[in-house]
Amino acid sequence: MSPGGAAAHRVPSAPCELDDRLVRYDRPLLVDPAVQASLRRSGFHVYGPLLDGRQIARLRTIADEFLERLTEPWGDAFLTVGRVQDAALRADTTARAGEVVLPALRPLFVDDARLRGSALQIKPPSPTSELNCHQDSSLVDERSWLGIYAWVALHDSGPRNGGLHVLPGSHRLGCWQRTLNVPWQLARFGEVMADLSVPLEVPAGSLVLFDAATVHSSPPNRSDRMRLAVNSFVTHADAPMLHFFRDDRTPPGRVEAYEIDDSFFSDDDIMVRPGPQHRYLGEWDQHVIEWTPDEFERLCRQAIEEAE
């Protein structure tokens, strides 16, 4: 059936509980079982050095060249290459950064992992460069498939220059239909999430792995120079890549599901309904979260305790 065809549909809220089972961790994605176990427990893992000085310098140069070619207004907010409108610039910069990062990441993952990347993240020194708490796009069906973001600092990174903060254990909150085109179910809990998040100190060249469902954020960069990072995505090669979408043509209580390929990110406008080149999988029940703020805070505190 085409989008918009079904009748209005009332979906009950997801139960107020953490995902204890985390089925997506049953299959190894990381070569080292201890790293996979750490990620399963906490939702993130600070891996340590990945890139050497030469590789870091190369990536900084790619970022400089990207900024020289960028014609879109940018202001002084956080900027990720993955979101710029110029598809050719986006694809070229991502591919060049990937040539440096992906070979370094590759040995950490099992043979049948697929690595996608790598989006440069640019945080200028400015009071408005913060990123509020969020979860990244799920990109796979997290009820069965594991998706991991691999974030590498290209400068020493900490709270003063807008480094990464994470909410430990938040990958167990079960909010799995995440794209820029579906209202984020946890948005109204922003203050609680920010209060409970913890800052990470990450030296230049070091890697943070995080479950795509882990809530994270970064405060404004209050230093006097730009802070760079690069982010890649890893999942199993046979995991279908998913995109969820809804607008006012989508019946209440539903999301449209699409199977996409890499061209979606390199060639398409990711803010509009995917075109016919992407397989339409139908309308799925929306995963609705109607917990109270108290219930949410209780769950987060339990998640943090169990992440230790």
Q: Give the shortest CB-37-to-ligand AKG separation in angstroms.
A: 24
Q: Which residue, 193 or 283, has its beta carbon nearer to ligand AKG?
A: 193
Q: Which residue, 219 or 251, has its beta carbon nearer to ligand AKG?
A: 219
Q: Which residue, 121 or 197, has its beta carbon nearer to ligand AKG?
A: 121
Q: Give the shortest CB-123-to-ligand AKG separation in angstroms.
A: 5
229 binds ligand AKG (CB under 6 A): yes
What is the size of the binding site for ligand AKG (CB under 6 A)? 11
230 binds ligand AKG (CB under 6 A): no
Residues 28-67 as x/- pattern, contact with ligand AKG by CB under 6 A: ----------------------------------------
164 binds ligand AKG (CB under 6 A): yes
Nearest to 64 by CA among 97, 95, 25: 97
Q: Give the shortest CB-63-to-ligand AKG separation in angstroms.
A: 12
DSSP E strands: which ranges in 64-138?
Answer: 79-80, 113-123, 131-134
In the range 99-158, which residues lie near ligand AKG by CB under 6 A?
121, 123, 131, 136
Q: Give the shortest CB-129-to-ligand AKG separation in angstroms.
A: 8
DSSP-based three-state secondary structure for 47: strand
Q: Give CA–CA dist 165/173, Å, rounded.
A: 17
Q: HSE of 54 in the Cβ direction (CA atoms, 13 Å)?
A: 2
Stretch (H or E) spanning 295: helix 293-307
Q: Which residue, 55 or 80, has its beta carbon nearer to ligand AKG?
A: 80
Q: Give the shortest CB-291-to-ligand AKG separation in angstroms.
A: 23
Q: Give the shortest CB-229-to-ligand AKG separation in angstroms.
A: 4
When binding is defined by CB under 6 A, the residue of 216, 246, 273, 287 that contacts ligand AKG is 216
Q: Phi and psi of 53, rounded to 5°?
A: -60, -35
93 binds ligand AKG (CB under 6 A): no
- The region that residue 109 occupies, defined by phi over 0 for left and psi between -120 and 50 for alpha, beta otherwise, is beta
246 binds ligand AKG (CB under 6 A): no
| Six token digits for residue 82 | 């993955």
Q: Give CA–CA dist 178/212, Å, rounded.
A: 10
C-alpha distance from residue 214 to each of 107, 223, 236, 287 (Å):
23, 26, 18, 17
In the chain, the N- to C-terminal Cα span, in Å, equals 46
Nearest to 94 by CA among 116, 112, 76: 116
211 binds ligand AKG (CB under 6 A): no
Binding site for ligand AKG (CB under 6 A): 80, 121, 123, 131, 136, 162, 164, 216, 218, 229, 231
